[in-house]
Structure 1
């Protein structure tokens, strides 16, 4: 068992930190909204701290799951940042989906301070976090990954090292690119079925057993057909991620025409007032 700090108690981080405590680790949490950190500590019997630095002091591992590049910098850097409080040899594990640029920046800062750094974005959404069934894609030094892997296991269905620093973030971009295309395809299929007078439930029962089947189809078709979009990862966050994908694609000179188009479709959903709807809300463009 390890002494672990968790920074960020949103819809993902709150249950992830809970799984760490349930696994027997000594867990201290930090959240920008102190009331949520206190609530977590009362619920799970762990500790909370007022700053990232205070939370990170003495920890073997510091996990983070925050919003974006700037949020991650804010909990890592500066006199109250986690890196300032960590002991040499400790490892920072970042579960946030961020740019490869900030990953390189913070990994270099950690290395200069004698710390390890593993970029480890996750997939599986709120349900995956709550059930401890996340897919975790990691980048970083192999020995540091090997040390962190048993701790990450508390909330992972699968965890793999994809390569050196930044490789985890690149793998997460691949994940988001694939999801965007799947959700758009499913949206068009269900919208077409409705116009054709087909029963969506019967349709999905048949086609999900063939080559068209996907997690999105099995888990989202009912709520999509009902126009219910409060079941996970928000459109605002998906656009943030797709922006990272498209920036990286420009740098790598890889064309992503479908991803770029679907990013604009999500922009339409935002204009419709659906920024906090989940990503399956692409169908709303087709059925309004």
Structure 2
């Protein structure tokens, strides 16, 4: 059992922290910007809450964060009451936020100066993956630090992999989102085409999902897409944030992402339709309006 802090109790962090407590058996202290949510978590799962990230991190062996973006991450780590001001030497900070590779490298350097470890560890699997403890975790950092952190991370994960040095986890998550964007757009167009052609979409997907066209998106989203229901996964607002990170990084490294850039604009149209909180499969709604 380790002493653990978890910073950020959103739709992902809330169940992830619970798995660290209940499945991992760790002593968990939580922090959330809205204190009432932290108190609710403690009422449900035990452990303790802290009024600041620094107080949550003080004396802990492992400190996790899962917040909104680069600015939020800087605030809870490097801000006046940030966790980096209180983490003990030799501890490990694991960041599950989907953020830029630049902030990951910045925080890794700051951690090294204070003699504790840092792992950028964005996740894939969405809210359902977090609730079921079966997330995929893509890590960047030092091998020795990763080897220490991996058994703790596994409390909420099905797959945990070290992808390279600091920032490599975030870069891998960008690839994940680039691939998803193309897959969902292709699935949306396929279902749209099938409907226009008068085909039974259930029968079509039953056949083609077993061949080369098959994907996780097809298996898990086609039924709700076919019904026009879009409340079952990763929100459009979040996907646009992630694709923005991808496109910025591509602009820096010279990669060409024409499909990702196009799908990002399609998601902008979905937002304008009122679908900011619809899940990413709502690309079909744009075609059917």
TM-score, with structure 1 as normaliser: 0.99
In structure 2, how many angstroms separate the alpha carbons of the residues matched to 1:134 and 1:197?
37
* Aligned pairs for 1:55-204 within 5 A: 55-204=56-205
In structure 1, how many angstroms separate the alpha carbons of the residues matched to 2:110 and 2:147?
21
The equivalent of 2:270 in structure 1 is: 269
In structure 2, how many angstroms separate the alpha carbons of the residues matched to 1:123 and 1:258?
21
Computed over aligned residues only, the root mean square deviation of the Cα atoms, in angstroms, reads 0.8
- 2:222 aligned with 1:247, yes or no? no
User: How many angstroms does 1:66 deviate by?
Assistant: 0.6
In structure 2, how many angstroms separate the alpha carbons of the residues matched to 1:200 and 1:2?
50
User: How many angstroms does 1:107 deviate by?
Assistant: 1.4
In structure 2, how many angstroms separate the alpha carbons of the residues matched to 1:68 and 1:259?
20
In structure 2, how many angstroms separate the alpha carbons of the residues matched to 1:47 and 1:203?
51
In structure 1, how many angstroms separate the alpha carbons of the residues matched to 2:35 and 2:112?
29
User: How many angstroms does 1:233 deviate by?
Assistant: 1.1
The equivalent of 2:43 in structure 1 is: 42
In structure 2, how many angstroms separate the alpha carbons of the residues matched to 1:29 and 1:269?
35
In structure 2, how many angstroms separate the alpha carbons of the residues matched to 1:111 and 1:180?
35
- Structure 2, unmatched stretches of 5+, are none
- Structure 1, unmatched stretches of 5+, are none
Q: SS of the counterpart of 1:157?
A: strand
Aligned residues: 288
User: How many angstroms does 1:100 deviate by?
Assistant: 1.1
Q: SS of the counterpart of 1:173?
A: helix
User: How many angstroms does 1:156 deviate by?
Assistant: 0.7
Q: SS of the counterpart of 2:115?
A: coil
Q: SS of the counterpart of 1:264?
A: helix
The equivalent of 2:6 in structure 1 is: 6
In structure 1, how many angstroms separate the alpha carbons of the residues matched to 2:164 and 2:30?
29
Q: SS of the counterpart of 1:88?
A: coil
The equivalent of 2:20 in structure 1 is: 20
User: How many angstroms does 1:78 deviate by?
Assistant: 2.4
The equivalent of 1:214 in structure 2 is: 215
In structure 2, how many angstroms separate the alpha carbons of the residues matched to 1:142 and 1:184?
37
- Structure 1 residues 2-32: Cα deviation after superposition (integer angstroms, max 9, x where no partner): 1110011111000000000012100010011
Q: SS of the counterpart of 1:198?
A: coil
Over 3 Å off, 4+ runs = none
Q: SS of the counterpart of 2:119?
A: strand
Q: SS of the counterpart of 2:28?
A: strand
In structure 1, how many angstroms separate the alpha carbons of the residues matched to 2:34 and 2:228?
32
TM-score, with structure 2 as normaliser: 0.98
